[in-house]
Chain A
Amino acid sequence: RKEVEQDPGPFNVPEGATVAFNCTYSNSASQSFFWYRQDCRKEPKLLMSVYSSGNEDGRFTAQLNRASQYISLLIRDSKLSDSATYLCVVNMASWGKLQFGAGTQVVVTP
């Protein structure tokens, strides 16, 4: 079993719709969680850190569920420019060691 797992998608989303997807992690002692976006094999860019209380940044909302060991990302009012691969990253409780999920592809269509 992979330590960080994501549904690869693609999630095909009409423009203006809402899309949500999860990322599960295996290590219950994991400390830090992040969402990155990556466009066409370019460098990943930090979208948001995920806090225990959940956090929101504009149209993006991230949640952490420690009991079930997953994080989620919700995108509201999807834009064409939201089309990308979304990577979850987990600090696996080992000093400095970070694990990436393989990514969830989102395609927003007109």
Chain B
Amino acid sequence: EAQVTQNPRYLITVTGKKLTVTCSQNMNHEYMSWYRQDPGLGLRQIYYSMNVEVTDKGDVPEGYKVSRKEKRNFPLILESPSPNQTSLYFCASSLARTYEQYFGPGTRLTVT
């Protein structure tokens, strides 16, 4: 089954404790992207990747890091999480020529 998986689905953590949210897709998609969704603000792009070892900033990259060492995986790293990073996070992937994205189920992150 074609899918995008994210782990963990729910996470409560404390300020400053490094965490990684994993994202994996099995569709051989070149393009992958991370978004955060906050009430009233819609989805905002954090980082995206056009292919292996090619990443770029979206609209809200501050406080986040990503890597793309393999085509299928695109982890999101929060080196020192802060309460303003409490949000619903989505990973998505698509063919680079279409941008018709498939989304993962989301990760609800709470930073206290």
Out of A32, A49, A87, A91, name the residue touching B42 (CB < 8 Å): A87
Q: List 20 A-B contacts (CB under 8 A).
A: A34-B100, A43-B90, A43-B104, A44-B43, A44-B90, A45-B103, A46-B100, A46-B101, A49-B98, A87-B43, A91-B99, A96-B96, A97-B56, A98-B48, A98-B99, A99-B59, A100-B35, A100-B42, A101-B42, A103-B42
Determine whether B64 belongs to the interface, using a CB cutoff of 8 Å to chain A. Answer: no
Interface residues of B, dominant DSSP: strand
Determine whether A13 belongs to the interface, using a CB cutoff of 8 Å to chain B. Answer: no
The count of A-to-B residue pairs whose CB atoms sit within 8 angstroms is: 60
Determine whether A1 belongs to the interface, using a CB cutoff of 8 Å to chain B. Answer: no
B47 to chain A, nearest CB (A): 10
Determine whether B111 belongs to the interface, using a CB cutoff of 8 Å to chain A. Answer: no
B52-106 CB contacts (< 8 Å) to partner A = 56, 58-59, 88, 90, 96, 98-106
Determine whether A74 belongs to the interface, using a CB cutoff of 8 Å to chain B. Answer: no
Q: Which residues of chain B are within 8 angstroms of A44 by Cβ–Cβ distance?
A: 43, 90, 101, 103
